[in-house]
């Protein structure tokens, strides 16, 4: 009996310089293949999808091991998961997410296909085109949002507000307060990680770090009953 794993999702980790890590996964921790491409290189992206569609067997590798071959430059990126079930990031990425999801399921759920078939060609073409368009659109959105630097001051204010949440009296509600306000706003602005402006990328990264610290602080009291200042 064939026990070879099957592809369940394609994860794109997109950097500000246009480099994209493509990870074909059997599950969130198991990689079947990983390759690095340029967001503008539609021919290379399309060829990669066609090659994967034709594979009959796969050798599973721990995802962390597979990623490590490409260095640490993908630790802070915009992440898009392409699968049979479109999530929020997938819907922002694709111009026709439901159609792409159906094509992904048809190509990778049916076993190896002729890489020249129409199904494979359509999926390869749309992933390549949407990768390029998403990157360009995200950089343009970031440029508009930054508004010549005006938005950076607002981001600095957000971060200062979060840094000020250090008193033990804040511990039980600080994280949820951020998630209900600033966090909800910033979730929709992860395209700032693709900004050409280095300061904008750094500030967004600092926001993520502060939010993570507040979450851990909250969990100390919520799960462990540990009350402490931050």
User: Of 196, 200, 192, 190, which Cα lies nearest the Cα of 156?
Assistant: 200
Which of the residue ranges 101-115, 154-168, 184-198, 210-224 would you say has the lowest mean pLDDT? 101-115
Q: Does the pLDDT at position 2 exceed 70?
A: no
Share the mean pLDDT of the chain.
Answer: 95
User: Of 206, 198, 200, 110, which Cα lies nearest the Cα of 147?
Assistant: 200
Phi-psi bin for 77: left (phi > 0), alpha (psi -120 to 50), beta?
Answer: beta
Higher pLDDT, 109 or 152: 152
Predicted confidence band at 165 (pLDDT cuts at 50, 70, 90)? very high
Predicted confidence band at 1 (pLDDT cuts at 50, 70, 90)? very low
Domain residue spans of the chain:
9-141, 147-222
Q: Which pTM value belongs to this model?
A: 0.93
**Residues 9-35, mean pLDDT to the nearest whole number:** 98
The predicted pLDDT at position 4 comes to 81
Q: Does the pLDDT at position 178 exceed 70?
A: yes
Residue 213 in contact with residue 165, Cβ under 8 Å?
A: no
Which of the residue ranges 26-35, 113-122, 144-153, 166-175 would you say has the lowest mean pLDDT? 113-122
Higher pLDDT, 71 or 16: 16
């Amino acid at each position: 009996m064939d026990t070879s794993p099957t592809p369940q999702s394609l994860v794109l980790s997109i950097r500000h310089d246009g480099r994209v890590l493509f990870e074909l996964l059997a599950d969130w921790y198991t990689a079947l293949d990983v390759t690095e491409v340029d967001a503008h290189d539609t021919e290379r992206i399309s060829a990669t999808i066609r090659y994967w569609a034709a594979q009959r067997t796969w050798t599973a590798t721990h995802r962390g091991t597979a990623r490590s071959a490409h260095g640490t430059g993908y630790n802070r990126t915009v992440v898009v998961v392409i699968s049979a079930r479109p999530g929020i990031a997938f819907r922002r990425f694709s111009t026709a997410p439901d159609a792409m999801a159906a094509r992904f399921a048809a190509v990778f759920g049916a076993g190896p296909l002729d890489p020249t078939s129409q199904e494979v060609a359509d999926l390869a073409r749309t992933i390549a085109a949407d990768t390029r368009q998403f990157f360009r659109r995200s950089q343009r959105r970031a440029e508009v949002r930054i508004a010549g630097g005006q938005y950076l001051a607002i981001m600095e204010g957000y971060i200062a507000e979060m840094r000020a949440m250090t008193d033990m009296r804040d511990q039980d509600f600080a994280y949820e307060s951020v998630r209900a306000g600033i966090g909800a706003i910033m979730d929709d602005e992860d395209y700032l990680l693709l900004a050409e402006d280095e300061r904008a990328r750094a500030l967004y990264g600092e926001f993520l770090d502060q939010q993570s610290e507040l979450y851990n602080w909250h969990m100390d009291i919520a799960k462990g009953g540990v009350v402490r200042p931050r």
